[in-house]
Amino acid sequence: MVGLNHFLVLSAVLFCLGLFGVITRKNAITVLMGLEMILNAASLNFVAISRYVTNAADGQVVSLFIIVLAASEAAIALAIVLNLYKNFYNVNIDEINTLKE
Amino acid sequence: MELFDLFFYIFAAIIVVAGAVTVLNKNLIYSAFALLILLSGVAVMFFLLGAEFLAMVQILIYVGGIMILVVFGIMLTGQIKSVPVRENFLYLLIASVVSGLLCGLLVTGITSRPAQFLTSVVESTSLRSLGNLLIGKYYLIFGILGVLLLVILIAAAGMARNNRE
């Protein structure tokens, strides 16, 4: 029987996979993908706990806010990545270590 | 109840496999599409938790919006094939140790406490209560996020514009 713990374990695994991606990847866009996975794990936790513990919609509201913040973060990050590509001709976060070219 | 468990296990497996492909694959396009599958799987999890509106928002915004942005970013920066994972062994070691230890710690911590179950599983929160919370209890955050989205829209458009010439 599936309960709260199953959802929590699933989101813990998702969080750790995202963390692994953020640490190991060189490409800035893939780091962004790892961040999206981490945010998804958090919002899955919010919804699961609000369903099983309080049975109110508060967790869903916070999850909505997380989705909005993730969308704005992705938009800004991709604008930054495009600017980096314009200036440095690659998006490797190892090689981008100056504020100007 | 039986069907609920079956759906949970199938989609949990899909999410974990898609997450591993996202993190480990060298081809960025495959990585992006695995992330798409993962986000859809999380939407199914929201359905299973009785949050239909949130599942729809997840599909609309994540799968329809953010993934398009990511794929655009990949194609505009032109690094599609054989993007190296960090070949430095030290980073791989650190990443494996940190995320493996954290995962083990979290899982043992979660499973050591008593399991919590619901008697009736298929019962969705009404959209009315969600809307009441949005414009009642959380109206200030709602308004601030609206302003934030406007600022982000202008800022992203201004930053991505080519203002060289």
Give the pLDDT of residue A44: 94
* Residues pairing with A92 in the sheet: A27
- Which of B29, B52, B66, B113 to probe the A interface (max A CBs under 10 A)? B66
Can you give the residue ranges of every domain in chain B? 1-58
Give exposure, B90-103, as e/b (b: 16+ Cβ within 10 Å).
ebeeebeeebeeeb
Q: CB contact, 8 Å: B23 with chain A?
A: yes
Q: Is B110 or A43 the better-scoring residue by pLDDT?
A: A43
Q: Is A42 or B90 the better-scoring residue by pLDDT?
A: A42
Can you list the pairs that B142-150 forms with residues at least 24 positions away whose Cβ atoms lie under 8 Å?
B145/A65, B145/A68, B145/A69, B148/A68, B148/A72, B149/A68, B149/A71, B149/A72
Residues in chain A: 101
Q: Above 90 in pLDDT, residue B162?
A: no
Q: CB contact, 8 Å: A78 with chain B?
A: yes
Q: Which of A77-81, B41-45, B140-144 has the lowest mean pLDDT?
A: A77-81
* Residues B152, A79: Cα–Cα separation, whole Å: 11
Q: CB contact, 8 Å: A46 with chain B?
A: no
* Residues pairing with A80 in the sheet: none
Mean pLDDT, chain B, integer: 84
DSSP annotation of A100 reads -
Q: Above 60 in pLDDT, residue B156?
A: yes
Q: Which of A41-50, A61-70, B64-73, B82-91 has the lowest mean pLDDT?
A: B82-91
Q: How many CA atoms lie within 13 A of A94 on its CB side?
A: 12
Q: CB contact, 8 Å: A90 with chain B?
A: yes
State mean pLDDT over A47-64: 86
- Which of B21, B22, B57, B86 to probe the A interface (max A CBs under 10 A)? B22
Structure-block tokens of residue A38: 């981490």
Give exposure, B57-86, as e/b (b: 16+ Cβ within 10 Å).
bbbebbbeebbebbbebbebbebeeebebe
**B8-45 pLDDT, tens digit each:** 999 999 999 999 999 888 888 889 999 999 999 999 99
Residues 81-100 of chain B with CB under 8 A from chain A are: 83-86, 91-92, 94-96, 98-100
* Residues B73, B160: Cα–Cα separation, whole Å: 11
Q: CB contact, 8 Å: B57 with chain A?
A: yes
Q: Give residue B113's pLDDT band: very low, low, confident or very high (50, 70, 90).
A: confident
Q: Which of A23-27, A92-96, B107-111, B137-141 has the lowest mean pLDDT?
A: A92-96
Please give the full DSSP string across B94-157, using - where no structure is assigned.
HHHHHHHHHHHHHHHHHHHSPP---S----PPPHHHHHHHHHTTTHHHHHHHHHHHHHHHHHHH
Give the pLDDT of residue B124: 63
Give the pLDDT of residue B84: 57
* Residues B145, A73: Cα–Cα separation, whole Å: 12
CA distance B19 to chain A (A): 7
Q: CB contact, 8 Å: A42 with chain B?
A: no
* Residues B139, B22: Cα–Cα separation, whole Å: 36
**B52-107 pLDDT, tens digit each:** 899 999 999 988 889 998 888 888 887 666 555 556 778 788 888 999 999 999 98
